[in-house]
Amino acid sequence: MYAVELNHVDKSYDNKQLVVNDVNVTIEPGEFFVLVGPSGCGKSTLLRIIAGLEELSAGSLLIDGKRADHLPPSKRELSMVFQNYALYPHMTVADNITFGLDVKKIRKKQRKEKCDEIAEMLGLTDFLKRKPRHLSGGQRQRVALARAIITNSPICLMDEPLSNLDAKLRAFMRAEIKELQRKLGMTLIYVTHDQIEAMTMGDRIMVLNEGAIQQIGRPIDVYNTPANPFVAKFIGSPPMNMINGTLDISASRIHISGQTELPFDPSQTLNTTSNKVIVGIRPEQLTRYDETSSHCLPITITIDHYEILGTETLLKFNWHNETWYAKWYGQWDLQIGQSLTLALDSQSVCIYDQITGQLINKPETVDHQVVSEEIV
């Protein structure tokens, strides 16, 4: 297990525009670390810099505490799984898996023993004599995984490896890759644009946008307290509801569209010099209004659309010319056009500075907290 350090890394192809901008992060030994962001945000470029397939323009890369940005890929002690699998079509599954060992001149008997061990681990024993064209997408993905881990490299890089699979197979492979990483104890750096993969697989995630780091943290922390409106919109499905407001500290109120006043606790410290703010709340934090609820603003809405998803019901509505969502547990009997009064709890909102985009007040209460309890 090796640590990977990126120290103020920049990357530019034309010496003008930075596609990776001042990335500074340490990936711990044995960590499952996820780079997530929209297409074109620089996450794959960053992975290729770590792999040695791209040169960095500025900064430094350290692997296991040693400077590595000058080393060729073969000297960095890492393996890589590509988005398109990159299997050799003329080779059998067994030959594809052991290709890295062939290059290292490992003896044939030892290659076969390791191949059989890895194939059994990944359920590929019955396919070792087949060619890749005779395999399904999930089986090809497992061959690519086997080829990467058979070399026992302390670091494994994965570039959107599940994007070519259907939804059901993706869910299966997410669990399989995570279990494999825990079993082998390797440092795994994983690139994806799918926030579900990031939330369910990563020990920590790094959200990128336009080549710059937006936030680094545990998935649950990034979800509950997104650092800026971009992260709040990108992480979560549906995304966080957001609306502009004007802060009135003397009255302990946030004015929304000049019509609605959201109270906030005057003891809260809002670290901002601007009175222009953005109020955000997760869809699952919008509940049915109860007059006994404290700190809650009643908002009357008309349902534009709803979806019953089995375990939960999703509502879509318009509030002050913004499209908002509510997400409730269970199956609710609703109608399009129906009016409801929802509760906007001031203790459950994120408040951002409109000018800087920085989080200036995080929620005091989160209904969906991670609870630790002893199981008897």
- Spatial contact of 257 and 340, defined as CB atoms under 8 Å apart: no
| Burial (Cβ within 10 Å: 0-12, 13-18, ≥19) of residue 50 | buried
Q: Would you list the domain boundaries of the chain?
A: 4-224, 229-361
Enumerate the β-bridge partners of residue 79.
156
Query: Is the pLDDT assigned to residue 376 strictly greater than 50?
Result: no
Q: Write the burial class of residue 137 (CB in 10 Å: 0-12 exposed, 13-18 middle, 19+ buried).
A: middle
Tens-digit pLDDT profile for residues 127-161? 999 999 999 888 888 898 888 888 888 999 999 88
pLDDT in tens, 93-133: 999 998 888 777 788 888 888 899 888 888 889 999 999 99
Average pLDDT over residues 356-366: 82
Confidence of residue 269 (pLDDT cuts 50, 70, 90): low
**Residue 273 pLDDT > 90, yes or no?**
no
Which SS3 state, helix, strand or coil, does residue 169 take?
helix
Rounded-to-integer distance, Cα 341 and Cα 301, Å: 6
pLDDT at position 267: 64
> Are both 4-224 and 229-361 of the same fold?
no
The tens digit of pLDDT for each residue in 164-211 reads 778 888 888 888 889 888 988 899 999 999 989 999 999 999 999 999
Q: Taking a C-beta distance cutoff of 8 angstroms, is the pair 263, 295 a contact?
A: yes
> Model confidence at 43, in pLDDT bands (50, 70, 90)?
very high
Is 296's pLDDT higher than 60?
yes
Q: What is the mean pLDDT of residues 284-288?
A: 91
34 or 87, greater pLDDT: 34
Query: What is the rounded CA–CA span in Å between residue 190 and residue 174?
Result: 11
- Its pTM stands at 0.88
Please report the pLDDT score of residue 266 as a whole number: 63
Q: Is the pLDDT confidence value at 214 over 80? A: yes
Pairing of strands 187-192, 322-329: unpaired
Indicate the CATH number for domain 4-224: 3.40.50.300
Hey, which CATH number is domain 229-361, 2.40.50.140, 3.30.9.10, 3.30.1490.20, 3.50.50.60? Answer: 2.40.50.140
**77 three-state secondary structure:** coil
Mean pLDDT over residues 340-366, rounded? 86
- Mean pLDDT of the chain, nearest integer: 88
- Report the pLDDT averaged over residues 267-275: 70
Q: Comparing C-alpha atoms, which of 176, 229, 166, 220 is closest to residue 195?
A: 220
Residue 206 makes CB contacts below 8 A (sequence gap 6+) with 25, 33, 34, 35, 36, 213, 215, 216
